[in-house]
Structure 1
Amino acid sequence: MIAVLQRVSEARVLIEGQVAGEIGPGLLVLLCAERGDTEVQSDKLLVKLLKLRIFSDDAGKMNHSVQDMDGQGWAGGLLVVSQFTLAADVSGGNRPGFTGAALPDEGRRLYDYFVAQARLAHPLVQTGQFGADMQVHLVNDGPVTIPLRMAPDAR
């Protein structure tokens, strides 16, 4: 699985002009399932992003995770948006290929699984809509943008 995390002071996703999901401070998670991914990659990715220390402490150092923020008097939100284009392959020319992305049914299943697990592990999770034409609005805080990839384990 591939994710791009953006630390935000606010973010929202619109579908046909209507807000589908919205958070204040937290993480915008752009998420892509790749061919061969399973729940194992999803679980590893979720654990990593929930514990990733990219929020500032009182001294201005990145020392807190989105989960730590709950103990600081606020719960950092997660806005999870499906984005199959993270699997783009541009090595063969100027038009990206997406054969590395999971097939739509499998991508949806893994996206839904990730969201369900995130909701069990974190108090504030909002989403876009899998496969929809979405407009994502965000204020990137920092800016801090972190790419993560959890590849299938070698067999």
Structure 2
Amino acid sequence: MRAVVQRVKRSSVKVSDKVIGEINKGFNVLVGISKDDSMEDLIYIKEKILNLRVFEDENEKMNLSLKDIGGELLIISQFTLYGDCRKGRRPNFMEALGGDEAKKLYDSFLELFKNEDIKLQSGSFGADMEVEIINDGPVTILLESKRNF
């Protein structure tokens, strides 16, 4: 599983010109699911997201987590995170999990956050979405459950 975690002042997602999710201070998270992912990968990424210390404390040091600040979370599926561009000019998406299997894992990933004390919003799996991100900092962190980077 891959995730692009952006610290945001606010973020929203629209489908067909209708806002379906919006947050204030917190994280916008774009997630990609690979053919090799399991529940273990989802749990690893969830824990990283909740505990990343990238929010500033009273000394202006990045020392606080999403949970520490009572931040909000917008999670959006994005299979293109598994686009392999090493050969040619057209990305190869062979490593991305698709269809019903990917939707099940995405839904399971969202479920993992429901027991946490945070506001959770999400995109619409497989939909053509318009995402607005007001990045704060900017701070953008890349996460990979297989720990390739």
Match of 1:113 in 2: 108
Give the match's secondary structure for 1:147. strand
Give the alignment of 1:1-155 within 5 angstroms: 1-69=1-69, 75-151=70-146
Q: How far 1:45 sits from its partner (Å)?
A: 0.5
Output the CA distance in 1 between the equivalents of 2:117 and 2:44.
15
Output the CA distance in 1 between the equivalents of 2:129 and 2:91.
20
Q: How far 1:103 sits from its partner (Å)?
A: 2.3
Matched AA of 1:61: K
Match of 1:72 in 2: none
Greater mean alpha carbon deviation, residues 104-113 or residues 10-19: 104-113
Output the CA distance in 1 between the equivalents of 2:92 and 2:22.
30
Output the CA distance in 2 between the equivalents of 1:22 and 1:125.
9
Give aligned-pair identity as a percent. 42
What's the Cα RMSD here? 1.0
Q: How far 1:132 sits from its partner (Å)?
A: 0.3
Relative to structure 1, is the Cα distance of residues 52 and 134 closer, same or farther in structure 2, using a 3 angstrom cutoff?
same
Deviations 1:61-89 (A, max 9, x none): 100000011xxxxx210000000000000
TM-score normalized by the length of structure 1: 0.92
Output the CA distance in 1 between the equivalents of 2:118 and 2:4.
21
Relative to structure 1, is the Cα distance of residues 150 and 53 closer, same or farther in structure 2, using a 3 angstrom cutoff?
same
Q: How far 1:120 sits from its partner (Å)?
A: 1.4
TM-score normalized by the length of structure 2: 0.96
Greater mean alpha carbon deviation, residues 102-111 or residues 17-26: 102-111
Output the CA distance in 2 between the equivalents of 1:42 and 1:86.
15
Output the CA distance in 2 between the equivalents of 1:53 and 1:86.
23
Matched AA of 1:142: G
Q: How far 1:106 sits from its partner (Å)?
A: 1.5
Length, aligned pairs only: 147
Say if 2:32 and 2:82, in contact at 8 Å, map to a contact too.
Answer: yes
Matched AA of 2:78: Q
Output the CA distance in 1 between the equivalents of 2:56 and 2:99.
37
Q: How far 1:35 sits from its partner (Å)?
A: 0.8
Q: How far 1:36 sits from its partner (Å)?
A: 1.1
